[in-house]
Amino acid sequence: MNHEKKHVFFRRVSTTGQSLTMQQSADLKYRDKLLRHQVLLIEESAISANKKSTDERPEMQRLISLIKNNRVDTLYAFDRTRLFRDTFEGMEFTDLCLKHQVKIVYTSEGNGHIQSTQDIFLESFLGMFSDMEGKNIARRTHEANKRYPPKKLGYTKIKEKKSYIPDEKKETILKSYFAEVNEITDMEHLCTILNRYQKELKCSAERLISIAQDPFYAGFDLENGENRLPHVTPYMTLQRHKKLQEEKGHLFTTYKKRLEKQKSQDTFAPICGLCKKPMLYRISVIENKSNYSCSRKHERVLMQFDDLSRIIQQLLQETIKNLNFKKLLYDSTLFFRNYKKKLVMEAKAIDHQIKKYMENLILSTNGYSPHWKDDLAYKKLKRSKEERELLLKGLDEANEYMANQKNMREKLETLLTDRLKENSPWLFSLFVRNIVIYPNSLDVEVSNFDYLTDLQKEFVYEVGEVS
């Protein structure tokens, strides 16, 4: 297998409309000096470093993996902003490159651009400017999109005049929507209107609520005072918009809160027992309830979310009661001991590295510096040792606590029961593998592991209660 280090050329654009041509042109002179097999191209298209973290950038993850595996000799990028916008992500990346001795070359020329340095402090300082520039770009984009959005439901954008006029195909429907939403009396009335206009305007209920709250349709931007938008032909007056928010705003807010709450509860992902396919999660904002249902060419299978949640709660309570805490505590203590041995060995290895570093410093004829304690290598070693000493202290405290507690089983059971009340989805993901729902029953497959014994295999469930 060929493990020759590569010269990686990294390019990124934030949107689909941007081109990589300028970056390709800038790094051409560097590529021309290399053999084809030495070059590796990594490109990110339509990836915003402002909006996405490192974990959400697969190609950046690929680059980091190559560096960690010592597969990169030199990294080429147009400038710092192509790699990262976030200061802290940039600092971590710079530290990684220094650790693996990866040279960084920025291919941009002129305009006061500063090449890569070996100083992590200076790189962090320069990274702050990229971060601030990125935030300013995001702010300016947000401001521009408020006043000049690329698209707006119910409007036709006249590019030559940079103006917005009502869309002839949707103007009548949208005006009718504004008129009707102005007359709503309660949540049921609002939901009825939303259901009808979702079909007519071909958009979601959430978007219809946002339209009713958006001052753009009154020809104004109200984020910082009353700023008239002369390029927008309004659907209503500012006074009518304000009255709508004052009189119906509480219903809009309640609708969005209910919808958000019901959406966040979709954690179980049950399977239909008849067709073996995932069941659909349906929300009723009027009733403030949700359910799982399926009717794919068979009789309807339905389970209310609240009922399923109560069943899962009881199952998890029974699972906690049937955990073999004695074995769990024994294995945990054994694990702590083995892990402690590993940390002690690592701490001794770091001590040896520090000793070797000090010997080299003392014996060196020209390498001594009165500021040796500020050396990055020494600081890293010292920090690693301190981290392991803290872990060892924590493990000692945990072992001592476990050894001195007579009622550890009860304490652990109480802890898990409390966690069940606070964060049942976490315990659900830990203990439950599958839920299969039938017309009159359901099967729950519990994860099989060594610490679970004698769990009851059947529960009787009746509508509205679990017994």
- Alpha carbons 207 and 190: distance in angstroms, whole number: 14
DSSP 8-class letter at 256: H
Token digits of residue 82: 């192509």
Structural domain including 137 reads 6-145
- Looking at residue 17, its pLDDT comes to 73
**Residue 359 domain-assigned?**
yes
- Alpha carbons 234 and 424: distance in angstroms, whole number: 48
Check: CB of residue 411 under 8 Å from CB of residue 398. Answer: no
**Residue 325 domain-assigned?**
no
**Residue 166 domain-assigned?**
yes
Q: Do 192 and 65 share a structural domain?
A: no
**Residue 198 domain-assigned?**
yes
- Looking at residue 365, its pLDDT comes to 47
Q: Do 183 and 127 share a structural domain?
A: no
Dihedral (C-alpha) 253, 305, 287, 211: value to the nearest 10 degrees? 30
* Cα distances (angstroms) measured from residue 117 to each of 75, 105, 106, 142: 13, 9, 11, 34
**Residue 57 domain-assigned?**
yes
Q: Do 165 and 122 share a structural domain?
A: no
Q: Do 141 and 115 share a structural domain?
A: yes
Check: CB of residue 264 under 8 Å from CB of residue 255. Answer: no
Q: Is 394 helix (H, G, I), strand (E, B) or coil?
A: helix
The residues, ordered by sequence, that sit 6+ positions from 304 with a Cβ below 8 Å of its Cβ are 289, 290, 291
Q: Do 66 and 111 share a structural domain?
A: yes
Select from 346, 371, 404 the last residue of a domain.
404
Q: Do 173 and 90 share a structural domain?
A: no
CATH value at residue 86:
3.40.50.1390
112-123: buried (b, 16+ CB within 10 Å) or exposed (e) per residue? eeeebeeeeeeb
- Looking at residue 315, its pLDDT comes to 83
Q: Do 138 and 61 share a structural domain?
A: yes
Select from 404, 436, 453 the last residue of a domain.
404
Phi, psi of 282, deg, nearest 5: -115, 140
- Looking at residue 256, its pLDDT comes to 93
Token digits of residue 182: 């102005």
Check: CB of residue 339 under 8 Å from CB of residue 350. Answer: no
**Residue 14 domain-assigned?**
yes
Phi, psi of 283, deg, nearest 5: -115, 135
Q: In what order do the strands lie in the sheet with 271-272?
A: 271-272, 432-437, 442-446
Q: Do 253 and 357 share a structural domain?
A: no
**Residue 439 domain-assigned?**
no
Q: Do 92 and 52 share a structural domain?
A: yes
Select from 387, 404, 421 the last residue of a domain.
404
Q: Do 128 and 17 share a structural domain?
A: yes
Check: CB of residue 324 under 8 Å from CB of residue 453. Answer: yes
Q: Do 136 and 174 share a structural domain?
A: no
| DSSP string across 297-323 | SSS-EEEEHHHHHHHHHHHHHHHHHTB
Count of structural domains, the chain: 3
pLDDT, tens digit only, all 467 positions of the chain: 456 899 999 999 888 777 888 889 889 989 999 999 999 999 998 888 777 888 888 899 999 999 999 999 999 998 888 888 777 788 788 888 988 999 999 888 654 456 766 665 566 555 565 556 555 555 656 677 778 898 999 999 998 888 999 999 999 999 999 999 999 999 999 999 999 999 999 999 999 999 999 999 999 998 878 889 999 999 999 999 999 999 999 999 999 999 998 988 888 889 999 999 999 999 999 999 999 999 998 999 999 999 998 888 888 888 777 777 777 777 766 766 776 677 677 767 777 776 666 666 555 545 556 666 676 666 776 776 777 677 667 667 666 665 655 566 666 667 677 766 665 676 777 778 889 999 988 888 876 666 666 655 555 555 444 43
Q: Do 140 and 13 share a structural domain?
A: yes
Token digits of residue 422: 């606070």
The separation between CA 320 and the C-alpha centre of its own chain, rounded to angstroms, equals 30
- Alpha carbons 420 and 266: distance in angstroms, whole number: 17
- Alpha carbons 302 and 318: distance in angstroms, whole number: 25
**Residue 456 domain-assigned?**
no
- Alpha carbons 99 and 67: distance in angstroms, whole number: 9
